[in-house]
Each structure stands twice: as C-alpha cells, then as structure tokens.
Chain A
Amino acid sequence: MIESSLKDIAAALRDKKVSAVELATESLSRIEAGNARINAFVTIDRDGALAAAKAADERLAAGTAGPLTGIPLAHKDVFCTEGVLTTCGSKMLSNFVSPYDAHVVSLLKAAGAVMVGKTNMDEFAMGSSNENSHFGPTRNPWNTDKVPGGSSGGSAAAVAARMVPIATGTDTGGSIRQPASLCGITGIKPTYGRVSRYGMIAYASSLDQGGAFGYSAEDCALLLSAMAGHDPRDSTSLEQGAEDFGRDLAKPLAGLRVGLPKEFFAEGMSDDVRAAVDAAIAEYRNLGATTVEVSLPNARLAIPAYYVIAPAEASSNLSRFDGVRYGHRAADYGDLNDMYCKSRAEGFGGEVKRRILVGTYVLSHGYYDAYYIKAQKLRRLIANDFAAAFQLCDVIAGPVSPTVAFGIGEKSDDPVQMYLSDIYTIAVNLAGLPGLSHPAGFGAGGLPVGLQLIGNYFGEARLLNAAHQYQQHTDWHTRAPAGV
C-alpha cells in the first residue's frame, strides 16, 4: 500500500481496507529491510510510530481524520522532534534528544501523520550528495554506487525506495529539488517564509526553507498544505493563513506561459539531461502551454554570491555549538577557550568547518564590503532578473541538475566541483522564490532526470498545477527503482 498515492491510501484507511497500524508496520518493515543498503534513515522510531498509528486509527474510527491521518512519513533530521534523536547529520548533535518539536513537526503530528523515523542528510544541510553525513552516505535507490543528491538525500531516497510515501526536507540552495531530481521523485521548496523555521536547525537563515517530497505533485500539495502557515515563533514567517496548495491541480494548462532562460540552455547541461528536459517542455506545449525565451543574465553569479552569503550566515548560526548547553564536548581540554576550540573541531566535519571559515573571513574587518555587501548586491541583481522574466511568463522551466546522479566519491574531495552541481537551483533561493522538481525521464545509466519549475512569489499552487497536469499525461513519476 505504501507505493500508492496519498488519495488511495486515505481512501483505503477510510474504507477500513487497511489500518494506520498496518501501514506503519509496512513502512517500518520496508525501512528495516532496505536501510542497510540505502542508509536513508539515521533513526527508526518503531515505538513512536506504532503509538501514533494507534491514535490515528482512533481518529479514523471517530470520524475526525484529515487527509494525512494515518499516513506514514519521515522527517529530515534537521527538524527537532521532542524525545527523539535529532542529529542534523553531525557528530556535534549525535547525542541530542530534542526537548521540543519543530513547528512543522507539531503541525504534522496534529494532522495525524505517523512519523516512522528521521532521515540522513549532509551535515547541517551543507552538501549536494549526502556524503557529508557523520552517519555515512545515503545511497541512490536507482543505483547504490551513486549519490542520492543532497542535502535532503535521505528523505528523497526514502520516498524513491517506497519506504514512506512522503517526507519533509529543507532547501537552502537546492537541497530538496536536486535530490528529488536525482532520485526520480517530486519535491517542492515553497516561497521563503511559507514554512516556519522554528525548530528547523539553522544553516543560512535568509535562504533556509522547509518543503515536501512525494511521488507526485498531488501528494506534495497535500503535505505542503499541512506544513505551511503563519507561526509567530519565526520572525520571518509570512503572515498568511493556511492555504490549499492543491486548489488548482485540475486547471487545464491552455495559455500557461512557460519561460525558458536562455542561460540555462546555453551550456553546461549534459546531453542526456538536455534530451529529457527538451522532451518535457515539448509535453508542456502539447498540453496547451506556450514557451517564451527569457533571460537571467546574472544567474551565473548565483554560486559565488551564495558561497559568500550562506557561509556568512552559517558562521554566525553555528557559533551556538560551543559544548556548553547541548551537543558534543571534547573529553580533554584546558581553559574555556580551549574547550570551545576542541569541542567544535571534533564535533564538526570538514565541509562544515570550511564554510564556517569562509563565513568568518568574509564577515571580518576589512573584507565585509568586498565580499558580503558585494554578494548582497548581486543577490539584488539576481532577484531583479527573475522579476523581469516573470513579466513575460507565468512559470520558468529548466534543468535541476547538470547531470544525472554522480558516483559516490566522485566529487567528495573537490568542494568547488560539488558546489557547481547546484548551478540551476541556487538563484531561486537567493531570490526567495518557490521551485519544484518533477521526474521527466531517464538519462545515462537509467538514472532519473528532473525538470525544474520556478514560480513567482506565492506561486506554489500554479507550479503544482502545472506538474500535476504533466503527471496526468506521463508516467515517469510512477516508475520505481528495481527491487523496491
């Protein structure tokens, strides 16, 4: 049943063809059978899942169930879960049992969704391959020699391997869209401010945004609708009430204007990705959409600007890990300063340390204007490019990742090569726009290729509508890796 759509699972629950406890048990057995191979989960919460499932069955019997009641789900281990280990993929937090729930976690608990566990991720969400995890790399269910993408690679792999039908993720520079693309599932990062960051461990606060993974746009719409909404505990949470992001799913695409950024199609994309992306765009034309060339001339500067802004914010956010209030403390140290330096050196992995060092440098006296302010000016130019493009189109389409999933170990020694794999996703975070990735075929080695759709601010329902209509006429999103 786990491989079915949320609509079908909810109907089966309502019609008493399956119970929430049976669903949770099915999900847990799939995880327990497959996790040694995929390493998608850091924590499996069998007892918590079965208790939540029992409560969901009571709600179903009482007639107070909602669309997610009884549905098994996984949370990226960046979200704090009360009483459950919350590691953020780091040795620093490898012993951290959170004393409170993230806002997203509370909302999904209240909706009756059944959390079966916490998923593996790049340490502190810094990475594009899930290789930067203290708990070992997650493997791509389509080919276990390949990466699943990152940083939400555990969530994407768990859904792709049909361990859970939906999972949460976060996207700071592409961390939902890129793993969704590389794992052949659907993922959406909403407009900055839609999903509360309360209890979502901070990486780069002006870019971090929670979002949803599922088999289809329809399932992502259900999950995102339950996750989003105003939260006074996050000072950047948008003051907007709950919204049904699935409200426009059935709308025909006739008249939809799809912008194709000429810079995205100029170079850099591998041939197999280009073929799949072109075919998906042709399908959108068949469905009644028109295409128009747009230009994002400053998008090529998104990576350098991001690798100033995100490390700057990270160096500030991660200063809280000092070995005093929570997290790892070194066993041997001299004075207080030595305790800080040793605890942090032992608790953080290589990529996290590099970003803290870059951030410390660009914020330091004498370099602030040349780097940090310069990057913020580029951020403005990038956002302006999108604003001009959306004068000409309703959504923007292009690749998610320049290639299909790369090999484990292939880029892990070269940070710059790893950074370049996010060339098509990062600009969206700098501008704060919503973006989605949906399966669009297969490339080299039979590995999935995703299509990226970028919307204007608050355009999530439009993106999900477009992707859903595409998925009504194609079956890429129904393909699952062999052996799951």
Chain B
Amino acid sequence: MSLSLDEVRHIAKLARLELAAGDAEATQAKLNGIFGLIEEMQAVDTDGVEPMSHPQELAQRLRNDAVSETDRRAAFQAVAPQTEAGLYLVPKVIE
C-alpha cells in the first residue's frame, strides 16, 4: 500500500497540520516507509480473534456526581496564549 500525495494532503488537513508546499513529497516518502512496515500485519490470519483495546479488561469506574475541584480559572488561564475577562480569545468564527 502507498499513499498518494493527495491522500497525504488530505490526512494533514484532517489532523490540522499545515503542510508546507515543499514538504508533501518528503512526508509521503517517510509515511510510505512506515506503512510498508505496518503492512506486515496483513500476513497473519486473525479471523475470530477478539480485538484487545486495553491491557485491563475492566469496566470503567464511575465517580459520584459531586464537586471535587476548586475554581482555578486564573491559574489555568495564565498559561493560555490569549485571554480576556476569563475567556479564551480566538479568531472570529461568526460574522
């Protein structure tokens, strides 16, 4: 299997990663090397094998629906690129 340049550009778009014009070919070559390695999986018959998503086959714990955190908005927003009046600022999305 190998990815076309269009596919590389498409997944970069899905991943919200800007791909500089000259980078697509180099990225394609390295990704295709990695997928060459991954393709080795297809040689094995896994019919009827139950997928294993996690080392622990446990049900997720539920916690009580109770307040457990204090308000630390100022501390958390101190590391944000841009805030105002307790809000995160981003480019306008609604005209």
| Residues on the A chain within 8 Å of B79, using CB | 95-99, 325-326
Q: Is the CB of B14 within 8 A of A354?
A: no
Encode contact with B along A300-325: 1 for CB under 8 Å, 0 otherwise.
01011101100000010001001111
With both chains docked as a complex, state the minimum distance between the C-beta of A118 and any C-beta of chain B, in angstroms: 16
Q: Mark A401-432, 1 if CB is under 8 A from B, else 0.
A: 00000000000001110010000000000011
CB-defined contacts of A97 to chain B, threshold 8 Å? 78-79
Taking a contact as CB atoms under 8 Å apart, the answer to whether B42 and A357 are in contact is no
Asked whether, in the complex, the Cβ of A377 is within 8 Å of the Cβ of B51, the reply is yes
B 57-95 binary contact with A (CB < 8 Å = 1; else 0) = 000110100000000100110111110000010110100
B88 to chain A: which residues have CB within 8 Å? Answer: 324-325
Within the assembled complex, what's the spacing in Å between the Cα atoms of A341 and B17?
A: 5
**Is B21 an interface residue, CB under 8 A from the partner?**
no
* CA of A342 to CA of B16, assembled, Å: 8
Which one, B7, B17, B52, contacts A344 given CB within 8 A? B17
B17 touches A374 (CB 8 A): no
- CB <8 Å contact, B12 and A357: yes
Given contacts A358-B34, A380-B51, contact A348 B17 (CB under 8 A): yes
For A298, what are the chain B residues with a Cβ–Cβ distance below 8 Å?
44
A364-388 to B contact mask, C-beta < 8 Å, 1/0:
1000001101111111110100000
- Say whether A360 contacts B11, CB under 8 Å: yes
Docked Cα-Cα span, A272 to B86, in Å, equals 60
Q: How far is the CB of B57 from chain A (nearest CB, A)?
A: 10
Say whether A284 faces chain B, with CB atoms less than 8 Å apart.
no
B38 touches A329 (CB 8 A): no
Q: Please, how many angstroms separate the alpha-carbon atoms of A480 and B10 in the complex?
A: 50
User: Are the C-beta atoms of A357 and B27 separated by less than 8 Å?
Assistant: yes
What is the interface residue range for chain B against chain A? 35 or more
Q: Across the interface, do B49 and A380 meet the contact criterion of CB distance under 8 Å?
A: yes
Q: Which of A338, A345, A370, A373 has the most CB of B within 10 A?
A: A345
Q: How many residues of A contact B (CB 8 A)?
A: 70
Whether B44 pairs with A301 at a CB distance below 8 angstroms is yes
Q: Chain B interface secondary structure, helix, strand, loop or mixed? A: loop
Which residues 242-292 of A sit at the B interface, judged by CB distance below 8 A?
none
Chain A: minimal CB distance from B93 (Å) = 5
* A471 interface residue (CB < 8 Å to B): no
Chain A at the B interface: mostly helix, strand, loop or mixed? Answer: helix
Report the Cα distance A340→B12, complex, angstroms: 12
B51, A324: Cβ atoms closer than 8 Å: no
CB–CB B36/A416 < 8 A? yes
Task: Report yes or no: B33 in contact with A206, Cβ–Cβ below 8 A.
Answer: no
Contact B34 A99 (CB under 8 A): no
Does A173 sit within 8 A of B, measured CB to CB? Answer: no
Residues in A neighbouring B50, C-beta threshold 8 A: 377, 380
Q: Is A353 an interface residue (CB 8 A)?
A: yes
Give chain A nearest CB distance to B84 CB in angstroms.
Answer: 13
The residue of chain A having its C-beta at the shortest distance from the C-beta of B93 within the complex is: A336
Any A CB within 8 A of the CB of B5: no
At the interface, yes or no: A337 with Cβ under 8 Å from chain B?
yes
How far apart are the CA atoms of A56 and B82 in the complex, in Å?
Answer: 39
Complex interface: chain A residues within 8 A of B60 (CB): 235
Q: Are B37 and A379 in contact (CB under 8 A)?
A: no
Interface string of B1-39 (1 = CB under 8 A from A): 001000110011111111110000001001101111111
User: B38 near A304 (CB under 8 angstroms)?
Assistant: yes
Cα(A344)–Cα(B42), bound, Å = 32
Task: Establish whether residues B75 and A236, one from each chain, have CB atoms under 8 Å apart when the complex forms.
Answer: no
Q: Which residues of B contact A (CB under 8 A)?
A: 3, 7-8, 11-20, 27, 30-31, 33-42, 44, 46, 49-56, 60-61, 63, 72, 75-76, 78-82, 88, 90-91, 93
Q: List 8 A-B contacts (CB under 8 A).
A: A236-B54, A301-B40, A304-B37, A326-B79, A364-B11, A378-B46, A380-B50, A416-B34
Additional A-B contacts beyond A206-B55, A307-B38, A383-B55 (7; CB < 8 A): A95-B79, A96-B79, A193-B56, A326-B79, A341-B16, A371-B38, A374-B46
List 3 tightest A-B contacts by C-beta distance, closest first: A432-B55, A376-B51, A377-B46
What is the interface of chain A, defined by CB distance below 8 A to chain B? 95-99, 192-193, 206, 232, 235-236, 238-239, 298, 301, 303-305, 307-308, 315, 319, 322-329, 333-342, 344-345, 348, 353-354, 356-358, 360-362, 364, 370-371, 373-381, 383, 414-416, 419, 431-432
